[in-house]
Amino acid sequence: MSPGIHPSAVIDPGADLGSGVEVGPFAVIGAGVAIGDRSRIGAHSTIEGPTTMGPENRVYPHASIGTAPQDLKYGGEPTALEIGARNQFREFCTVNRGTVGGGGVTRIGDDNLFMAGSHVGHDSQVGSHTVFANCGTLAGHVEVGDWAVIGAFSAVHQFCRVGEHAYLGGFTVVTMDALPFAISVGQKAVCMGLNRVGLKRRGFDDETLRRLEQAVRLLTRPGLNRAQALERLRAEGDDAAEVRALIDFVDSSTRGFIRSARRGARGAA
């Protein structure tokens, strides 16, 4: 037993712990779990397999990682959870493995912060550098792009996408795709425009912000449907990579995307 592993921890012989891994009191690590070097697993936390975690992850007390999906169709099939490096899973955070029908794997990238009570549902795909505030939740089959922020007590419906650099305000309910680079807020979510503060903090220059703001405004403007908005945006010929990414996101949307309010209601795409 490594000096960094508390004697009360329960570790299955089928688990693989890397160099320098620390495990706190009464933590439970199951078979098929692989934990990368220098990770720290907090007291009373649970990690079930098959789960693979990269190096330098931090799991805080009472977090539950890699447990079976909350899906009534799940019948015990072998599915997995894949986690990158340097993520933080705070107290009572829960992350489920995938389902056969959803591809079988839940994936999380690098350098994410999952605050207390947050949840990542089965088959979700989370990028890198995201922040999930307290009790931010993803239903199954959700995609979250890099640098997105999921506000406290927000909920994202199954099969929705949250674009890169998107910001969801607290208590937001997402039932359509949330645009990249933009702010979406509300129990009947509306787009409030460009995530200007967040983008400036990440080093976006003023010209890029101007072009993105113009594109977001056009896409979310009431009175234009998706095809019309995309046609107008393409006609302007803006070749900025960020604008192209915005166009591609909207063009590939299957659920529609969150737009600006019109007469107090959410616009449909």
Which entry of 136, 140, 145, 267 is annotated as an active-site residue?
A: 140
Tell me, yes or no, if 123 is annotated catalytic.
yes
Q: How far apart are CA 145 and CA 142, in angstroms?
A: 10
Cα 1 to its chain centre, rounded Å, is 35
Paired tokens of 202: 């990440």
Which residue out of 42, 54, 117, 123 is catalytically annotated? Answer: 123
Tokens of 156: 């994202």
Q: Which of 36, 121, 122, 198 is catalytic?
A: 122
DSSP 137: E
Cβ neighbour number for residue 230 with a 10 Å cutoff: 16
Number of H helices, E strands in the chain: 4, 29
Q: Is 231 exposed, middle or buried (0-12, 13-18, 19+ CB in 10 A)?
A: exposed
Active centre residues (catalytic): 122-123, 140
